Amino acid sequence: MGFMKAIVYTKYGLPDVLQLKEIDKPTPKDDEVLIKVHAVEATKGDCEMRSFNFAVKWFWLPLRFVFGLTKPKRQVLGGYFAGEIESVGKDVSKFKKEDQIFGSTKLQLGAYGEYMCLPASYTLVPKPSNMSFEEAAAVPLGGLNALHFMRKANIRKSEKVLINGAGGSIGTFAVQIAKSMGAEVTAVDSTIKKEMLLQVGSDHFFDYTKEDFSKSGQTYDVIFDMVAKGSYAKCVKALNPKGRYLMGNPRLSDMLRSFLTTRFTDKRAMFVFAGELEEELVALKEMIEEGKLKSIVDKIYPLERAAEAHRRVEAEQRLGIVVLSMGSARDR
């Protein structure tokens, strides 16, 4: 069987609960692939699971049952990665050894380790040929969610789109995808994100620390809100007639209000969580290879510095996506 290095946590808490350990290397079942992980995104979701402190509170209890009431059941985090196929189960024909892939582990997690097994039916797609493993690992979370929401918004050419919280993993892809659909894009985030967001294609920028976009008098065809504490009423008010409001981090009260907005006004409010489908990841791969989309990597940390990576994500100072790279763990 052999051993491998992984970042493990056995209790909820601050980033220091993440420890580099040697654990058993997994063996693929008949319908699974064994993946040699090269890079993995350190996400805000990873940080929330590690601390069990979620920005959106309503799903706290169901998640606690899934992931462990008093301590984590799944001790290796990591949901979005790039790597290569090490071996395949006997029923797998879709992949072969050394295929370079990127994708999502769904709720199985496990990508903060040198190896992991996943069913071959999961959202696993050939890695874009024009990206490094680190750049590719930074795509699936932000890209899949952004594509899902931008398609849901049904954006048409020349429409005005505002993205609130545009500087995160999902927001940076949403800006690029909305631009590729022909939209005029306004990004809202903090001062330090301005230059990066203009570079990825934003036409306009609001610094929320200095001004409130909803008081500017501007209105939009689509507002995509990634801010968990965003104001529902302000966003809906800033929509044009037939405007669409998409909530990436909805509160329970906002979900209820969305039904009323959609039913009784000429505007639509939506929250539909991304399915992370293979077709969507293939579409992202094609957009990347055509040069329409890129991942914005803020910083790459070696695996053993996972705690530092989490601190970087939680500080909200990052300009793009934080990635863990396995190279140094293998060299030790």
pLDDT of residue 332: 41
CATH 3.40.50.720 residue ranges of the chain are 141-270
Rounded mean pLDDT, 80-85: 98
pLDDT of residue 250: 86
Rounded mean pLDDT, 41-52: 93
pLDDT of residue 316: 85
**What's the pLDDT band for 56 if we cut at 50, 70, 90?**
low
Residue 184 CA to residue 162 CA, distance in Å, equals 8
**What's the pLDDT band for 252 if we cut at 50, 70, 90?**
confident
Question: Quick one: how far is CA 220 from the chain centroid?
Answer: 25
For residue 77, give the amino acid letter.
L
Q: In terms of CATH architecture, what is 141-270?
A: 3-Layer(aba) Sandwich (3.40)
Do 167 and 198 meet the contact criterion of CB atoms below 8 Å apart? no
Contacts (Cβ under 8 Å, ≥6 apart) of 308:
15, 301
* 228 SS3 class: coil
For residue 57, pLDDT over 80 is answered with no
Residue 81 CA to residue 143 CA, distance in Å, equals 12
Rounded mean pLDDT, 79-94: 97
pLDDT of residue 273: 81
β-bridge pairing 124-126 and 184-189? unpaired
C-alpha torsion 165→167→173→175, nearest 10 = 70
CATH 3.90.180.10 residue ranges of the chain are 3-139+295-331
Rounded mean pLDDT, 187-211: 96
Q: With CA atoms as reference, report the closest residue to 42 among 168, 163, 227.
A: 168
Rg (CA), the chain: 20
For residue 1, pLDDT over 70 is answered with no
Q: What is the pLDDT of residues 25-35, one digit of tens each?
A: 999 999 999 99
Rounded mean pLDDT, 60-67: 66
* 283 SS3 class: helix
Q: 3-139+295-331, what's its fold?
A: Quinone Oxidoreductase; Chain A, domain 1 (3.90.180)
pLDDT of residue 126: 98
pLDDT of residue 97: 97
For residue 303, pLDDT over 90 is answered with yes
**What's the pLDDT band for 60 if we cut at 50, 70, 90?**
low
What's the DSSP call for residue 155? -
Percentage of the chain beyond pLDDT 70 is: 94
State the average pLDDT for the chain: 93
Rounded mean pLDDT, 130-137: 98
**What's the pLDDT band for 117 if we cut at 50, 70, 90?**
very high
**What's the pLDDT band for 328 if we cut at 50, 70, 90?**
low
For residue 156, pLDDT over 90 is answered with yes
**What's the pLDDT band for 249 if we cut at 50, 70, 90?**
confident
Residue 223 CA to residue 278 CA, distance in Å, equals 26
pTM attached to this predicted model: 0.93
pLDDT of residue 65: 67
User: Among 54-63, 97-106, 228-237, 275-284, which is the least confidently predicted range?
Assistant: 54-63
Contacts (Cβ under 8 Å, ≥6 apart) of 105:
78, 79, 80, 81, 111, 116, 118, 122
**What's the pLDDT band for 58 if we cut at 50, 70, 90?**
low
- Which parts of 21-152 fold into alpha helices (H)? 44-51, 60-67, 133-137, 140-152
pLDDT of residue 167: 95
Q: With CA atoms as reference, report the closest residue to 33 among 76, 82, 108, 95.
A: 95
